[in-house]
Amino acid sequence: MSVVIRQPGVVLTDHQFQVPLDHTAPQGEQIEVYAREVVAAGKERDELPWLLYLQGGPGGRAGRPLGRDSWLDRALDDYRVLLLDQRGTGRSTPATRQSLPLRGGAVEQAAYLAHFRADSIVRDAELIRRRLLGEHRKWTLLGQSFGGFCTLTYLSLAPQGVREALVTGGLPGLRSSAEHVYRVAYPRVARKNAAHYARYPQDVEAVRQVAGHLAERPARLPGGGLLTVEAFQALGLLLGSGTGSDTLHYLLEDAWIRGASGLELSDTFLGGAQARLSFADGPLYAVLHESIYGQRSVDGGPTDWAAQRVRAEFPEFDAALALKGDGPVSFTGEMIYPWMFETDPALRPLRETAEALAAHTDWPDLYAPQALAANEVPVAAAVYHDDMYVDTADSLATADAVRGLRTWVTNEWEHDGLRTSGGQVLDRLIRMVRGQV
């Protein structure tokens, strides 16, 4: 029996679904996928259209609503919303360092996780749509970041289930390999670094001091992880969000404290760094990250730690080189590196599994360009100008390749505009897809 919870302004209903691990073998092993239905209070019995929210990631569980917060406030004016904990996340059958050993060794774990990409997520969603809505009733998709990637996969594999699609910061390159993704990403991250240091010029020296200290003495984080120079640079993940540069600056303000033996990195700083670097809440983000770009028709080989390989082409991200001079130390961005599976206790037990996935070849295609060229589903997409996480040029090329897709290119918001705009981004996309703007 479904659990129903009331919060101010909303009614929440739990749903649990059995889905095949491998949708090509529907009678085989089953896993659970959890979803939370959200409807405005007083509209519980109304015949509302459904909106499926596809979360960013990979490996991100859906947000936990606190009443009519964030973009939900606008969505609930028109829709009954379904928040999906994508397979392996949240209250769905978990895939973590604690649960994956039940599958066997690294080879078996990697084979299991090969079924956790966008194509499987979309097939889960289609099964759920038929069970909740019926065979012929369609729903609206809202895809944020990686959820936008899933939306393009949905339009490729099962457009018959989609009434309209809304994408925020998540139009993928349909023919982009992992290597290409990172080769065009590093220059964007460099621009975000330049913007940060222009805003906070005092941080040039502050970052050099921390990096220089860590180069000699990596610090132990409160949860047991290791803060190396490379891990410190990975805090640049913050720079792609609307307030990320400010958050990074405030973190650096608290870097030092005078202890019994002199200046040392403060617990406040180390705790803040851990909160932003640990993958304990979402290990699949790291384990599956590069596999989301694997497609046999684009590059049949392995992804093979593309971010690490391509990084060598951009010496401005070499902290040791920067510290030999007097220039700034550059932060990195949304890159996953092999060393993360040594420094993060949540990832360390999954190192061999990640290696097996990095060596995996012949990933199935995720997008069907011919189907997208003949698309009949109304689609509206917010493309954030110079988005640090998703390449704008790739997004616009994809927009041109999808029939009927309308774009709104804006620098008013960063990648997290859906969450931070108070419903403005969602409202604009809804009006676009309806032809009102």
Q: What is the pLDDT of residue 212?
A: 97
Shared domain check, 398 and 273: no
Q: What is the pLDDT of residue 157?
A: 98
Shared domain check, 392 and 327: no
If one counts the domains in the chain, the total is 2
Select from 358, 391, 421 the last residue of a domain: 358
Active-site residue identified among 176, 415, 416, 421: 415
Shared domain check, 341 and 226: yes
Shared domain check, 87 and 105: yes
CA 416 to chain centre: 11
Q: Could you give the dihedral angle defined by the CA atoms of residues 94, 284, 407 and 297, in that order, rounded to the nearest 10 degrees?
A: -110
Shared domain check, 42 and 27: yes
- Per-residue exposure over 252-280, b if at least 16 CB sit within 10 Å of its own CB, e if not: beebbeeeeeeebbeeebbebbbeebbbe
CATH number, position 75? 3.40.50.1820
Shared domain check, 308 and 421: no
Shared domain check, 98 and 10: yes
Shared domain check, 293 and 239: yes
Active-site residue identified among 362, 385, 386, 400: 362
Shared domain check, 251 and 322: yes
* CA–CA gap between residue 197 and residue 40 (Å, rounded): 44
Select from 338, 358, 378 the last residue of a domain: 358
Shared domain check, 167 and 42: yes
- Which domain, by its residues, includes 32? 4-174+367-433
Residue 176 annotated among the catalytic residues of the structure: no
Shared domain check, 215 and 115: no
The token duo for 63 is 């947000």
Select from 358, 383, 411 the last residue of a domain: 358
Residue 362 annotated among the catalytic residues of the structure: yes
pTM of the model: 0.96
Residue 415 annotated among the catalytic residues of the structure: yes
Residues of the chain with pLDDT under 70: 1
Active-site residue identified among 92, 120, 145, 177: 145
The token duo for 346 is 């949540």
Q: What is the pLDDT of residue 1?
A: 57
Q: What is the pLDDT of residue 194?
A: 98
Shared domain check, 219 and 118: no
